[in-house]
């Protein structure tokens, strides 16, 4: 006790010493000063914040019952000639307003449970919800975690409308307006009215806005007749109308639906028996059957319409800051006028030719598409795809491919697999079995002088769904040899001062970066070959050697400027593997993911128009209901290569069609055309990209799942058929590609790429190797051929003559010289000057 007292006393004395007292005064002074500064900063920040908020509120519209009421208008799509091609009338223009007493309590409570569980307790702003969202956002490093009440969502959709939200300030401004108006709205109307307006405005996918339209779409019944299970399906869509679509993504919706049912049970909106009944309801099977019936009686959007809608959605989000819901609301109910670039006459031709069975290889087949969701014998959720069907088939020796000779054979395999699942205790909730005709096709046709897409084919066969697989824009395929022109020969001519006369030795060769041998599609090796010949005959080894000199880095830069977005630059995946397209095989189109038909066509169109790249556009402008232009496509291109480079590549690709791998694409009208073929490893993909002075078009043919087959050059013939009919339909006059003023000519030897030597190059044993070639100004060769050698042979000795050999005993032979270290035997080898001729001369005649 005394010890503790003494210890306390010593501490008090120490603290009362002059030095400590002085230090304490100083500390107190700084604390007071810091406190004053902090208070001043808080006051200043508060003043600025108040001014900022006051400025926002001054620009906030007034709230009224009329302003929160839904408004819907049909959006019209026009073709390039001003004809209406599509009315997007499956949402707002089809909206059927229903009062709250027509909407089941279960549906009301389902939305409240998942969107705003304290809806009846807050005054328009849910502070607990905001706090929870903020904490979740900080945890996941994503501050876009919701927190909006139903009242705020109604104001966002129906009052504030579509506003730019690209910056943080814009999002804060919108949030302040939402919360301010939410407080005001809750003062002038009831919760019931707010909920009613909200349920009639909400986006529920498939172009439906409002619960009545959605009920008719998914269940073919009035909203008043919905069951609890069906109510939770609709409520589950709201979070993301695309990903939670119960038709296209039933598993996603089912998981969301279970969350809603559990919350409704916890909030005592439903009983345990109601919960169990809803869980066991096979609701998604009904949805699929109803959808199938509706699809038979309705016409889906075309592939062009689908691509157009997605491009407009993307641009509304990218350029104006719309979120996904606002973008789709604008398109489906905003009364927009979308002026597309589609030429209906060209589109009709493309559709007819690509859907004609006569234009495909014999033995047309089908591919199986399969999905099943259900529960196993333990009640756990399970799902299966066509890959599981394939595994089952292999295990039971029923086949090793998902490609079948006809629809019935494919469906039979699916039935056997489903039956095996049921035997093992699987309860089926939803099953989808469909077949797709194979091989498939895609085609893009562009006006290269404007960048406008005139027609687009995303597949063959009946298109039954909106926003379904679009093979022209939504899938990537390996481009094969079509890529040589863009990845290799374009930068070679444009950046490395090579020419069409530049020569490489087509001889055995291995990739420098991997050591793998490069193979040509033909047997043997052709020896010295020009870049023009390499383009004409699609020579792999010459392309690979050229890429080595160009370098993948330079190539990649050009491909980026040509609009390719699917190429990879050292991407590391979640499994730790690194992928990159920066390699020598990029010369032959060996890519990580491949390219889309649309982007490949856009890149070639830059060559076709003289070197200017236009990003492919499917619309010219988008106008809102008031006449204001929301979006407008660019009317100017970006120079990505010299006009001389574009001309030289075009001239080389004219030879592809005249006498190379693209002969089947020769146009009947005689219209000049240039193009490039492409076939990938194992004959999975067949390409032809070509252009006339008017249009650029790409055709891809292949199976959706990689399958070897022979196209019989049908892909080239399809291109020809389409282009011939376009020329006839449009009455296009015959004209050639324009030649820039900076192009010159020279007579060169095709074995050296240098100036031809008269009497030598034109006397090659195989025929003359002299050709008139085009060159960009400043690149014309100025040295004579050094590959051909003229040797005078003495008849008596059989060796090169010397000055003493009788003139009447001489004869001349032309030989080829190959560099030291040349590999393998080529077409030039037997014309190569013998080693003895290099070392020895005639020994029978001795000069004096």
The SS3 call for residue 589 is coil
Give the per-residue SS3 of 6-60: HHHHHHHHHHCCHHHHHHHHHHHHHHHHHHHHHHHHHHHHHHHHHHHHHHHHHCC
Q: Are 111 and 199 in contact (CB under 8 A)?
A: yes
Q: Which two tokens stand for residue 389?
A: 């069907």
pLDDT number for residue 239:
87
Transcribe 271-291 into DSSP letters. Answer: -HHHHHHHHT--HHHHHHHHH
* CA–CA separation, 632 and 653 (whole Å): 34
- For 90-99, write each residue's pLDDT tens digit: 444 555 678 9
pLDDT number for residue 20:
35
DSSP code at position 223: G
- For 127-186, write each residue's pLDDT tens digit: 776 776 666 555 554 444 456 898 888 888 777 765 555 677 767 777 777 787 878 888
Does the pLDDT at position 24 exceed 50? no
Q: Are 734 and 724 in contact (CB under 8 A)?
A: no
Lowest mean pLDDT among 168-182, 234-248, 460-474, 651-665: 168-182
Lowest mean pLDDT among 117-126, 178-187, 553-562, 670-679: 178-187
Q: How confident is the model at residue 702 (pLDDT cuts 50, 70, 90)?
A: very high
pLDDT number for residue 326:
87
Rounded to an integer, the average pLDDT of 77-90 is 86
pLDDT number for residue 297:
58
Transcribe 500-546 into DSSP letters. Answer: TT-EEEES--B-TTT-PBP--SSSS--EEEEHHHHHHHT-HHHHHHH
- For 436-466, write each residue's pLDDT tens digit: 999 999 999 999 999 999 999 999 998 878 8
The SS3 call for residue 466 is coil
Q: How confident is the model at residue 15 (pLDDT cuts 50, 70, 90)?
A: very low
- For 283-295, write each residue's pLDDT tens digit: 999 999 998 887 7
* CA–CA separation, 93 and 681 (whole Å): 50
Does the pLDDT at position 10 exceed 60? no
Q: Are 214 and 157 in contact (CB under 8 A)?
A: no
pLDDT number for residue 59:
52
**Nearest one of 495, 493, 558, 496 to 531, comparing CA atoms:** 493
**Nearest one of 436, 439, 432 to 385, comparing CA atoms:** 432
* CA–CA separation, 581 and 566 (whole Å): 10
pLDDT number for residue 819:
85
* CA–CA separation, 530 and 536 (whole Å): 10
**Nearest one of 724, 773, 747 to 493, comparing CA atoms:** 773
pLDDT number for residue 656:
98
Rounded to an integer, the average pLDDT of 34-56 is 47
pLDDT number for residue 168:
72
| In the chain, % of residues over pLDDT 90 | 68
Rounded to an integer, the average pLDDT of 342-366 is 94
Q: Which two tokens stand for residue 363?
A: 């033995």
pLDDT number for residue 133:
60
* CA–CA separation, 365 and 707 (whole Å): 11
pLDDT number for residue 53:
55
Rounded to an integer, the average pLDDT of 816-839 is 90
Parallel/antiparallel/unpaired status of strands 527-530 and 612-613? unpaired
Please, what is the average pLDDT of the chain?
88
- For 496-525, write each residue's pLDDT tens digit: 999 999 999 999 999 998 999 999 999 999
pLDDT number for residue 521:
92
- For 378-410, write each residue's pLDDT tens digit: 999 999 999 999 999 999 999 999 999 999 999
Rounded to an integer, the average pLDDT of 57-69 is 65
Does the pLDDT at position 189 exceed 80? yes
Does the pLDDT at position 40 exceed 60? no
pLDDT number for residue 61:
61
* CA–CA separation, 655 and 673 (whole Å): 9
Q: Bridge partners of 639?
A: 612
pLDDT number for residue 696:
98
Please state the pTM of the whole predicted model: 0.72
Distances (CA, A) of 150 to 119, 182, 542: 7, 9, 65
């Amino acid at each position: 006790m005394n010890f503790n007292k003494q210890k306390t006393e010593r501490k008090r004395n120490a603290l009362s010493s002059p030095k400590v007292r002085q230090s304490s005064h100083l500390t107190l002074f700084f604390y007071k000063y810091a406190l004053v500064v902090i208070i001043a900063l808080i006051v200043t920040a508060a003043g600025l914040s108040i001014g900022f908020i006051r400025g926002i509120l001054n620009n906030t519209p007034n709230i009224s019952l009329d302003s929160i009421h839904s408004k819907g208008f049909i959006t019209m799509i026009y073709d390039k000639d001003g004809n209406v091609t599509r009315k997007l009338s499956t949402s707002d223009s089809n909206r059927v307003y229903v009062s709250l007493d027509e909407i089941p309590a279960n549906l009301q409570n389902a939305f409240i449970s998942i969107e705003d569980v304290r809806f009846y307790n807050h005054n328009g702003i849910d502070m607990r919800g905001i706090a929870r969202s903020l904490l979740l956002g900080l945890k996941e490093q994503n501050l876009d975690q919701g927190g909006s009440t139903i009242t705020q969502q109604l104001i966002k959709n129906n009052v504030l409308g579509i506003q730019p939200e690209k910056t943080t300030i814009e999002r804060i401004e919108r949030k302040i307006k939402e919360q301010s108006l939410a407080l005001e709205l809750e003062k002038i109307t009831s919760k019931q009215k707010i909920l009613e307006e909200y349920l009639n405005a909400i986006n529920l996918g498939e172009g439906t806005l409002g619960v009545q339209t959605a009920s008719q779409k998914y269940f073919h019944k009035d909203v008043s007749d919905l069951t609890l299970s069906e109510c939770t399906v609709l409520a589950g869509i709201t979070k993301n109308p695309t990903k939670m679509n119960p038709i296209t993504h039933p598993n996603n919706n089912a998981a969301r639906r279970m969350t809603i049912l559990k919350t409704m049970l916890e909030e005592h909106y439903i009983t345990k028996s109601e919960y169990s009944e809803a869980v066991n309801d096979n609701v998604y099977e009904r949805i699929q059957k109803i959808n199938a019936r509706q699809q038979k009686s309705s016409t889906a959007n075309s592939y062009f319409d689908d691509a157009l809608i997605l491009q407009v959605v993307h641009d509304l989000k990218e350029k104006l800051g719309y979120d996904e819901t606002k973008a789709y609301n604008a398109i489906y109910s905003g009364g927009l006028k979308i002026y597309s670039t589609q030429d209906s006459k060209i589109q009709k031709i493309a559709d007819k030719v690509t859907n004609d069975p006569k234009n495909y290889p014999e033995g047309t087949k089908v591919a199986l598409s399969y999905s099943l969701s259900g529960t196993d014998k333990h009640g756990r959720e399970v799902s299966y795809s066509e890959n599981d069907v394939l595994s089952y088939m292999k295990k039971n020796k029923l086949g090793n491919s998902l490609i079948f000779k006809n629809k019935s054979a494919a469906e039979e395999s699916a039935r056997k697999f489903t039956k095996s699942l049921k035997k093992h205790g699987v309860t089926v909730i939803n099953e989808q079995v469909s077949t797709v005709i194979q091989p498939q096709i895609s085609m893009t046709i562009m006006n290269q002088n404007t960048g406008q897409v005139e027609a687009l084919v995303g597949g063959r066969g009946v298109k039954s769904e909106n926003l379904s697989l679009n093979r022209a824009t939504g899938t990537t395929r390996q481009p094969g040899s079509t890529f040589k022109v863009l990845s290799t020969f374009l930068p070679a001519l444009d950046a490395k001062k090579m020419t069409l006369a530049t020569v490489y030795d087509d001889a055995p060769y291995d990739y420098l970066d991997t050591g793998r041998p490069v193979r040509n599609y033909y047997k043997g090796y052709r020896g010295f070959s020009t870049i023009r010949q390499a383009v004409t005959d699609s020579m792999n080894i010459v392309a690979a050697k050229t890429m080595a000199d160009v370098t993948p880095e330079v190539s990649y830069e050009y491909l980026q400027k040509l609009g390719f977005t699917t190429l990879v630059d050292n991407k590391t995946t979640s499994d730790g593997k690194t992928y990159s397209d920066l390699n020598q095989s990029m010369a032959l189109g060996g890519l990580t993911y491949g390219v889309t038909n649309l982007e490949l066509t856009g890149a070639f169109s830059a060559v076709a128009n003289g070197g200017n790249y236009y990003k492919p556009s499917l619309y010219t402008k988008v106008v809102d209901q008031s006449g204001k232009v929301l979006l407008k496509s660019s009317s100017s291109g970006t120079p990505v290569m010299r006009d001389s480079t574009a001309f030289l590549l075009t001239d080389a690709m004219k030879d592809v069609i005249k006498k190379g791998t693209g002969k089947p694409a020769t146009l009947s009208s005689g219209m000049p055309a240039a193009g490039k073929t492409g076939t990938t490893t194992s004959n999975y993909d067949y390409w032809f990209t070509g252009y006339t002075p008017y249009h650029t078009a790409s055709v891809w043919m292949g199976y959706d799942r990689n399958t070897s087959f022979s196209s019989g050059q049908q892909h080239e013939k399809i291109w020809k058929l389409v282009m011939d009919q376009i020329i006839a339909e449009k009455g296009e006059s015959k004209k050639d590609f324009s030649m820039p003023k900076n192009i010159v000519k020279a007579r060169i030897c095709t074995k050296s790429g240098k100036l031809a030597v008269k009497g030598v190059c034109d006397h090659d044993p195989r025929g003359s190797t002299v050709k008139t070639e085009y060159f960009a100004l400043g690149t014309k060769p100025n040295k004579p051929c050094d590959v051909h050698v003229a040797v005078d042979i003495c008849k008596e000795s059989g060796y090169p003559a010397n000055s003493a050999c009788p003139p009447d005993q001489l004869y001349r032979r032309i030989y080829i010289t190959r560099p030291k270290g040349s590999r393998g035997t080529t077409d030039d080898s037997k014309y190569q000057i013998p080693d003895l001729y290099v070392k020895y001369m005639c020994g029978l005649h001795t000069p004096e």
